[in-house]
Amino acid sequence: MTPSPRPRVAGDREGEILEACVEELLEVGYDRLTMDGVAQRARASKATLYRRWSSKQALVVDAVIRRKQVVPQDPPDTGTLRGDLLAVFCSPTGLRDQQGMRVLGSVLTALQTDPEFATTFREKHIDPRRAGVVDVFRRAEARGELAPGVDPTLLGPALVGILLHRAFVLGDPVTSDLIERVVDQIILPAATSGPRQPQESS
Note the pTM of the prediction, 2 decimals: 0.79
Rounded to whole angstroms, the Cα distance separating 120 from 177 reads 33
Write down all domains in the chain, each with its CATH number in brackets. 11-65 (1.10.10.60), 68-193 (1.10.357.10)
Per-residue pLDDT at 7: 44
Q: What is the pLDDT of residues 104-130, one digit of tens each?
A: 899 999 999 999 999 999 999 889 888
Q: Tell me the helices (H) and strands (E) count for the chain, helix number first.
A: 13, 0
Q: What is the pLDDT of residues 68-81, one digit of tens each?
A: 655 566 778 899 99
Say if residue 10's pLDDT is above 60: no
Residue 128's H or E segment, with its range, is helix 127-142
Question: With contact defined as beta carbons under 8 Å apart, do 188 and 118 qualify?
Answer: no
Per-residue pLDDT at 5: 41
Per-residue pLDDT at 199: 59
Say if residue 177's pLDDT is above 70: yes
Q: 95 vs 125, which has greater pLDDT?
A: 125
- pLDDT category of residue 100 using cuts at 50, 70 and 90: confident
Residue 180's Cβ-side half-sphere holds a number of Cα atoms within 13 Å equal to 4
Per-residue pLDDT at 101: 86
